[in-house]
Amino acid sequence: MLASNIFFDPLVHMLGGVLTGIHHIIPSYGWALIALALVVRVVLWPLSDMQFRSMAEMQKVQPLVKALQAKHKSDPQAQNAAMMALYKEHKVNPLAGCIPMLIQFPILIGLYWAIQGQLSSFQNEHWLWIGSAISQHFPNIFATSLAVPDVVLLVLYVVSMYFTVRYGSPPSQDPQQAQTQKIMAIVSPAMIAFFGFKYRWASALYIYWLALNVFTVAQQYIMFRRYGLIGGKKDVAVPAVATAALAAEGPKQLNGAVTGSAAASNGKRRYRSKKRSRR
């Protein structure tokens, strides 16, 4: 069993202790699980910040990346070398966005087993509609305690998973990648729904996962705004290396890659100016 793995046991015990400590302050496991999700999201905030900062840096150099791909489309080896040189020049690490996710993975596994290990404590625990009179009449839909499945929570969790996956990264300008994002936003929740029904996960897990997803979506919105990935001002700065990297490509590709964002921004300013003059 994964929980007995020597690498996960200390983490599982530590997280279980954190949940127990929160329960001493909040005498309801349902609300304690939500508080635990908030604590986890806050603790992992620096890692998420690193991930979104990496996304913003990668987005800034995308015009140059596309131009290099067009320039060396018939020579993959030269294309890779040019892109690595570009990343080095701009101090961009394309793997930096993945590292925080890899660090968070053991924590997610540990939390799963920490909650699983305390299911006996959830046998008589109620929360909102869980354990209410309606759950006694419809036990196959509404959980009678936090230790048994709840269909309503599963549905809410699946919906939250869609938004977490769909908007976990900024909209891609690449049609193929954008389509992949849409597909994953459907496939991932569908898999969760399948396994949730098959393995009948306890409603305590759904409460934690749902709360974590809600906090994650809120954090994603804040990060997108902070780094200009959605809305607000999104400047695409192109340093001097563009001239050296794309000199042989000619003015057409360089202008299309570098000045497109500036042209769009100027158009928006002219449109706003016309609106003000009409008023």
Give domain limits for the chain: 2-272
Q: What is the pLDDT of residue 170?
A: 63
CB half-sphere exposure, 87, CA atoms < 13 A: 13
What's the predicted TM-score (pTM) here?
A: 0.71
- The per-residue pLDDT for 21 is 92
Question: For residues 110 and 115, what is the distance between their CA atoms, to the nearest angstrom?
Answer: 9
The residues near 246 (Cβ < 8 Å, ≥ 6 apart) are 64, 67, 68, 71, 253, 254, 257
Alpha carbons 144 and 234: distance in angstroms, whole number: 49
- Residue ranges of the chain whose pLDDT lies below 70: 1-7, 95-101, 168-174, 177, 229-279
* pLDDT for the residue numbered 220: 81
pLDDT of residue 171: 61
DSSP class of residue 119 equals: G
Number of Cβ within a 10 Å radius of residue 247: 9
Rounded CA-CA distance 182/21 in Å is 40
Name which of 163, 154, 215 is nearest 184 in CA terms.
163
Alpha-carbon distance of 70 to 66, in angstroms, equals 6
pLDDT at residue 253, rounded to an integer: 42
Percent of the chain with pLDDT over 70: 73
Instruction: Assess contact for 248 and 70: CB atoms under 8 A.
Output: no
The answer to whether 148 touches 204, Cβ cutoff 8 Å, is no
Residues written for the chain: 279
Token pair of 20, please?
């127990």
In whole angstroms, how far apart are CA 107 and each of 102, 132, 188, 236?
Answer: 10, 32, 20, 35
pLDDT, tens digit (0-9, with 9 covering 90-100), for 17-60:
898 999 999 999 999 999 999 998 898 888 878 777 777 777 77
Q: What one-character-per-residue DSSP string does the chain give?
A: -GGG-TTTHHHHHHHHHHHHHHHHHSS-HHHHHHHHHHHHHHHTHHHHHHHHHHHHHHHHTHHHHHHHHHHTTT-HHHHHHHHHHHHHHHT--TTTTTHHHHHHHHHHHHHHHHHHTTGGGGTT--BTTBTSHHHHH-TTTS-SSTTS--HHHHHHHHHHHHHHHHTSSPPPSSHHHHHHHHHHHHHHHHHHHHHHHHHT--HHHHHHHHHHHHHHHHHHHHHHHHTTSSSS-------THHHHHHGGG-HHHHHHHHSHHHHHHHHHHHHHHHHHHH-
